[in-house]
Chains A and B, each alone.
Chain A
Amino acid sequence: MKIHEYQAKELMKARGISVPMGRVATTVDEAVAAVRPLIEESGNPVVVVKSQIHAGGRGKGRFKEHPDLGGVNVVLDGIEGGPRAAEDAVRSLAGKMLGSTLVTIQTGPAGKKVNRLYIEQGIDIDRELYVSTLLDRASSRNILLVSTEGGTEIEEVAAHTPEKILKAEIDPAIGLADFQASELAHGLGLEGGAFKNAVKFMKSLTVAAVEWDADMIEINPLVVTKGGDVMALDGKVSFDSSAIYRHPDIAAMRDESEEDPAELEAAEHGLSFIKLDGTIGCMVNGAGLAMSTMDIIKVFGAEPANFLDVGGGATADKVTAAFKIITRDPNVKGIFVNIFGGIMKCDTIAEGVIEAVRQVGLEVPLVVRLEGTNVELGKQILDQSGLNVVSAADMKDGAQKIVELTS
């Protein structure tokens, strides 16, 4: 599960992790009202207006409605004109940004609508660094990554100058040891107050990651101010969805408007569903089989419209819900049901499919491949249903048939 930057910063602040002062705004008036107190409290006449969406690359992103406007804007008007001038500038910016669609390298061409802004104090930046903590699968431990190359995508740094990324492996029984944090801070070339603050920052961050069951916390950039403070200028946190049950406060931060409605509906039915851009709807049991069903459709020259795993214990209800979600997608020109019934019986699946078709209708070709327990009974049920269902001998045959029927 992902949250917005402003929420991540609220969490960090509560955990003693240094962040700039800021206020969230959902209207132009709220945005404007945030300006004066920020300037007065921080003593810095600069404020920053940041779009809040669940995607990175906001600074370089551009609004569809305002092609010259980026997703993050530094307002300098207050330096000469005072708070009033800053307020005027924020009013104009917020008016354009709120409700507009921001397209970044991570949103895809459709972009994401900006419903919230975060108005933040300006910071006198001395250096921009990078820090993140995430799971290292090879060692089965969390690691802390730091780099001097703040502000750059870490994948870029890893690809071109991997020596500029330093890493520490965290023993879950000990946490990030002082000497490890010191080594990393030295590696970043920090001294004096900034060194001490960076050590404290890194230690707090790794503790927070475990406390929150975070999959990943990425601070890019982590800034060192001219005064030697070390703070998170941006903050991206994603949480382990398997552990969200023990964090009701974090669960409450979920912003469903950032998620695909079909994926949300599927999750309510216990289905694992991901919307894709192709034309062949897929319904499969098991994640590996579902993924390779998508792959095999591509082998025969078409594109899958979705990933859908109905799970090991699918009931007729689940199958019906899955069918409804698939058929609602206007791009879907055909449906491929691919089931290897082990524990799940093929006749149950067949009955589920018939019930689903009865409820939602069937306007596109349907190919069903059944294998496993009670396969003959399952096929017989489909054959006798009078429905226009094409049977497939195996997965390959099924994929070939659905692609032919839809092209």
Chain B
Amino acid sequence: MSVLVNTDTRVLVQGLGKTGRFHTDTAIAYGTTMVAAVHPSRAGETEIFEGETDHSGVPGRLDAYHVELPIHRSVKEAAAATGANATVIYVPPPFAADAIMEAAAAGIPLIICITEGIPVADMVKAKRYLEDKPVRLVGPNCPGVITPAECKIGIMPGYIHQPGRIGVVSRSGTLTYEAVFQLTNNGLGQTTAIGIGGDPVNGTNFVDCLQLFNDDPATEGVLMIGEIGGSAEEVAADWVNANMTKPVAGFIAGTTAPPGKRMGHAGAIVSGGKGTAVDKIAAMTAAGIVVAPTPTDMGAAVMEAMGLVR
């Protein structure tokens, strides 16, 4: 078991520029079922992907692959033609919020937006548009979602993952890689790793993911990786305290970040004395979450939370 994505996930790609094409190729190489692409002016064409798999992905899926991905002019038509149940968005920032809304209008239940740099006002509107629709947005400005050896959607390197017991949820890309690699090396592996993104307005949040992992029988423990800015980690800590039945470990980046400065991610900013790492770590610790003192200790913190001796 896992959450959000598995071998039944059929994925559309919106945005076939250099980035979108590259990561569609690595997703296919991993064994992800990519079913179609959406491009307004290239409808009717096909995009060809071929190569060797990296053998880190879905077992037995493909050795060498040759995939002719049909291109449709809209998400609605692509979904109708292919039965896609997920979409990944690599559309450039000025058009990405619209791409999210288009996917929601077409009823795609899982919308994963990788794009970084979407105007905040666009995301406020897109999120309003999504409010009453039965869809889930992950991101934007995130690495994506992966269930090891089943389905990889996004820009994360597949080979560092390994099927296993831990659910990972994170606001940061490379810190997630750091974490899953430690979980792979210490043998715990991952059920699913979810990047929820570094923007101030995003779709799926920590609590949504904690709930999913709590309900997933295969997930035995959770690692949540947060950073300065906002109060999502504090809200998550409250939720863990009240509802979580599984051990949780965590890490917070940005203890030394100066106030009032955006630390790379649009959402990583301490403003008006709020959103500090110290407050977040305190809230998480109070909720019984084992907080790793440094990123190198994230795997060990999960071990500790689960009561395992290394």
**Is A396's beta carbon under 8 Å from chain B?**
yes
**Is B227's beta carbon under 8 Å from chain A?**
yes
Interchain CB contact under 8 A, A396 and B294? yes
**Is A158's beta carbon under 8 Å from chain B?**
yes
Interchain CB contact under 8 A, A298 and B256? yes
Interchain CB contact under 8 A, B296 and A240? no
Q: Nearest CB to that of B268 among chain A residues? A: A287
Q: In the complex, which residues 250-308 of chain B have their Cβ closer than 8 Å to any Cβ of chain A?
A: 251, 253-258, 260-261, 263-268, 272-273, 277, 293-297
Report B145 CB to chain A, min CB distance, Å.
15
Interchain CB contact under 8 A, A395 and B268? no
Interchain CB contact under 8 A, B201 and A292? no
Report A241 CB to chain B, min CB distance, Å.
8
Known: A286-B174, A289-B175. Contact between A342 and B263, CB under 8 A?
A: no
Interchain CB contact under 8 A, A288 and B225? yes
Q: Nearest CB to that of A300 among chain B residues? A: B294
CA distance A40 to B173 in the complex (A): 60
Interface size grouping (class) on chain A: 35 or more
Please indicate the chain B residues that have their CB under 8 angstroms from the CB of A336 in the complex: none
A171, A245, A246, A395: which contacts B296 (Cβ < 8 A)? A395
**Is A63's beta carbon under 8 Å from chain B?**
no
CA distance A154 to B128 in the complex (A): 28
CA distance A397 to B294 in the complex (A): 11
Interchain CB contact under 8 A, A288 and B257? no
**Is A372's beta carbon under 8 Å from chain B?**
yes
Interchain CB contact under 8 A, B263 and A290? yes
**Is B72's beta carbon under 8 Å from chain A?**
no
A231-242: CB near B (< 8 Å → 1, else 0) gives: 000000000101
CA distance A286 to B181 in the complex (A): 16
Interface size grouping (class) on chain B: 35 or more
A142-171: CB near B (< 8 Å → 1, else 0) gives: 100000000000110010000000000001
A281-323: CB near B (< 8 Å → 1, else 0) gives: 0001111111110111111000110010100100000000000
Interchain CB contact under 8 A, B120 and A242? yes
The winner among A276, A284, A287 for most chain B CB atoms within 10 A is A287
Interchain CB contact under 8 A, B118 and A242? yes
Interchain CB contact under 8 A, B155 and A242? no
Please indicate the chain B residues that have their CB under 8 angstroms from the CB of A373 in the complex: 157, 159
**Is A394's beta carbon under 8 Å from chain B?**
yes
Interchain CB contact under 8 A, A342 and B156? yes
B170, B200, B254: which contacts A295 (Cβ < 8 A)? B254
Interchain CB contact under 8 A, A140 and B123? yes
Report B230 CB to chain A, min CB distance, Å.
4
**Is B217's beta carbon under 8 Å from chain A?**
no
Known: A135-B201, A304-B256, A342-B156. Contact between A292 and B175, CB under 8 A?
A: yes
Please indicate the chain A residues that have their CB under 8 angstroms from the CB of B175 in the complex: 286, 288-289, 292
Interchain CB contact under 8 A, A371 and B181? yes
A369-407: CB near B (< 8 Å → 1, else 0) gives: 001110000000000000000000011110100000000
CA distance A274 to B257 in the complex (A): 10
B225-255: CB near A (< 8 Å → 1, else 0) gives: 1011111100100000000000000010111
Report B182 CB to chain A, min CB distance, Å.
9
B12-41: CB near A (< 8 Å → 1, else 0) gives: 000000000000000000000000000000
CA distance A243 to B257 in the complex (A): 24
Interchain CB contact under 8 A, B177 and A342? yes
A158, A291, A343, A394: which contacts B155 (Cβ < 8 A)? A343
**Is B109's beta carbon under 8 Å from chain A?**
no
Q: In the complex, which residues 41-98 of chain A have their Cβ closer than 8 Å to any Cβ of chain B?
A: none
Interchain CB contact under 8 A, A296 and B294? yes
**Is B106's beta carbon under 8 Å from chain A?**
no
Please indicate the chain A residues that have their CB under 8 angstroms from the CB of B273 in the complex: 155
Please indicate the chain A residues that have their CB under 8 angstroms from the CB of B117 in the complex: 242
CA distance A154 to B125 in the complex (A): 27
**Is A15's beta carbon under 8 Å from chain B?**
no
Report A377 CB to chain B, min CB distance, Å.
15
Known: A242-B118, A242-B120, A304-B256. Contact between A372 and B160, CB under 8 A?
A: yes
Interchain CB contact under 8 A, A298 and B157? no
Report A205 CB to chain B, min CB distance, Å.
15
Q: Nearest CB to that of A142 among chain B residues? A: B124
Known: A142-B124, A245-B94, A294-B257. Contact between A289 and B118, CB under 8 A?
A: no
Report B44 CB to chain A, min CB distance, Å.
31
**Is A172's beta carbon under 8 Å from chain B?**
yes
Please indicate the chain A residues that have their CB under 8 angstroms from the CB of B200 in the complex: 135, 137
**Is B163's beta carbon under 8 Å from chain A?**
no
Q: Nearest CB to that of A210 among chain B residues? A: B121
A240, A246, A286, A307: which contacts B173 (Cβ < 8 A)? A286
Report B198 CB to chain A, min CB distance, Å.
6
Report B255 CB to chain A, min CB distance, Å.
4
CA distance A137 to B198 in the complex (A): 12
Q: Nearest CB to that of A171 among chain B residues? A: B128
Interchain CB contact under 8 A, A243 and B120? yes
CA distance A20 to B198 in the complex (A): 39
Please indicate the chain A residues that have their CB under 8 angstroms from the CB of B264 in the complex: 272, 286-288, 290-291, 307, 309
- Which residues of B come within 8 Å of A, CB atoms? 93-94, 117-125, 127-128, 155-157, 159-160, 170-178, 181, 198, 200-201, 225, 227-232, 235, 251, 253-258, 260-261, 263-268, 272-273, 277, 293-297
Instruction: Name 5 A/B residue pairs within 8 A (Cβ), A-sorted.
Output: A242-B266, A276-B258, A287-B227, A292-B253, A371-B181
4 closest Cβ pairs, A-B complex: A288-B172, A287-B264, A286-B174, A243-B119
Q: In the complex, given contacts A141-B124, A288-B225, A395-B294, what are 5 additional A-B residue pairs having Cβ atoms less than 8 angstroms apart?
A: A140-B124, A173-B128, A291-B227, A291-B254, A372-B181
